[in-house]
A = this chain, B = another copy of it.
Amino acid sequence: MSEQEREPYHHGNLRAALVEAALEILERSGPSELSLRKLAAAAGVSRGAPYAHFRDKRELLRAVSDAGFARLAGAMAEPDPSASSRDRFLRTGRGYVAFAIRNPSLFRLMFSAELAPAPGAGKNRLAFELFRERLSDFLRENAPAIIPSPALETMAWSLVHGLATLLLDNRLPGTAQEHSSLVDEVTAAFADQLEFTHR
């Protein structure tokens, strides 16, 4: 599925190939299928080979998680920079949720407890920053009375993260289509609330 260079095996850049293989396994199966042995097999390499590139499994998973956060940032980016700040804000949140739904296992890995970084650090910072920026742009244009605060930023992030998580874990009723509408409604309602507040 990727435009990655075709792996020059038997000697090549195994590191990237392993991360790529992990992403594919996560996409096709659950995280329980993600073992070093299967990864090595998928990359066409012996069991010990990964240890030339990663100290242990945890380090490899962290690389996979980092790749995931890069993709997430891509999914959140607004392809149309001329869109309104409201649309850009909405699509950032919707992109976040859509990414989680499209990559459930990867998303769970990215936010798994074993890989938890120092609080506030870690690659999720990137996604969070993007979010803050869009929120601040949105507020400046549509609700200038509200000044961005950590509480407000946390609120916005929690909202999409919770929505993503609940959908992922099958905790909300409805079909996939209804879920999609729900995400649209919830994000729009949140933006509306901000616009109306202190109006």
Q: A189 to chain B: which residues have CB within 8 Å? A: 151-152, 155
Determine whether A161 belongs to the interface, using a CB cutoff of 8 Å to chain B. yes
Min Cβ gap A124→B in Å is 6
Q: Which residues of B contact A161 (CB under 8 A)?
A: 162, 165-166
Copies of this protein, total: 2
Q: How many residues of A contact B (CB 8 A)?
A: 46
In the bound complex, what is the Cα–Cα distance between A166 and B160 (angstroms)? 11
**Most B CB atoms within 10 A — which of A154, A185, A197?**
A154
The interface residues of chain B lying within 8 Å CB-to-CB of A152 are 189
Residues of B within 8 A of A150 (CB): 182
Specify the chain B residue showing the minimal Cβ separation from A124. B171
A117 to B172, CA, bound (A): 10
Q: Closest chain B residue to A122 by CB distance?
A: B171
Is chain A's binding surface mostly helix, strand, loop or mixed? helix
Chain B hits for A159, CB < 8 A: 155, 158-159, 162
Q: Which residues of B contact A44 (CB under 8 A)?
A: none
Set of chain B residues within 8 Å of A124, measured between Cβ atoms? 171
The answer to whether A169 touches B113 (Cβ under 8 A) is: yes
Q: What 0/1 pattern do residues 118 to 139 of A give for CB contact below 8 A with B?
A: 1110101000000000000000
A8 within 8 A of B: no
Within 8 A of B (CB), among A166-199: 166, 168-174, 182, 185-186, 189-190, 192-194, 196-198
B186, A151: Cβ atoms closer than 8 Å: yes
Chain B residues closer than 8 Å to A122, beta-carbon distance: 171
Among A112, A117, A155, A160, find the residue whose CB has the most chain B CB atoms closer than 10 A: A155
User: Which positions in A face B, CB cutoff 8 Å?
Assistant: 30, 104, 108, 111-113, 116-120, 122, 124, 150-152, 154-155, 157-166, 168-174, 182, 185-186, 189-190, 192-194, 196-198
